[in-house]
Amino acid sequence: MAKQFSLFTKGKSGGIDLSSHFEKWGWISFLTYVTEKGLFDISGNSKTKLENTKAAKLYDVLIWADERSDYEMAITAYQEKLYQK
């Protein structure tokens, strides 16, 4: 799975390769990352952020994470270009 979604692969612009981190921490760090972003939080349903994230649909979480990863890599690439100038 780590190789299947762009979130977990090192981008061409030199993005962070999280694969070794996942080796050590399993998927806990990914759960933490998604929970911290709070996108799948539903306010007022008496569940914690963590519970709401866990209850989210797998497809939604992975697609969101995939898009975020691509976006962050594009920003990183842009910043690297600026730095080189």
Partner 1 sequence: MQFIFKNKTYAIPASLAQITLGQRIDFEEQYGKQISERETAIAAMDEGADKQIEQTMYHMELLCSSFAFFSGIDIAEVKEHIDLTKLCNLFLPCFKQLFEQQQEVGLQTTYLWNDEVWELASPELHYTSTMSFNEFLTAKQVVKSLYDLGEGNWTVLQYLCAIFLRKNEEAFEEYFATPESERFKLMRTLPMDIALSVAFFLTSSSKAWLNNSPYLQKENQEVLI
* Interface residue list for partner 1 (CB under 8 A): 1, 4-6, 9, 26-28, 30-31, 34, 40, 53-63, 66, 69-70
12/85 with CB nearer partner 1:
12
Nearest CA among 35, 40, 32, 38 for reference residue 59: 40
HSE toward the beta carbon, residue 40, CA cutoff 13 A: 24
Three-class SS state of 16: coil
59/83 with CB nearer partner 1:
59
For 17, phi and psi rounded to 5 degrees?
-90, 110
Minimum CB–partner distance for residue 1 and partner 1 (Å): 7
9/76 with CB nearer partner 1:
9
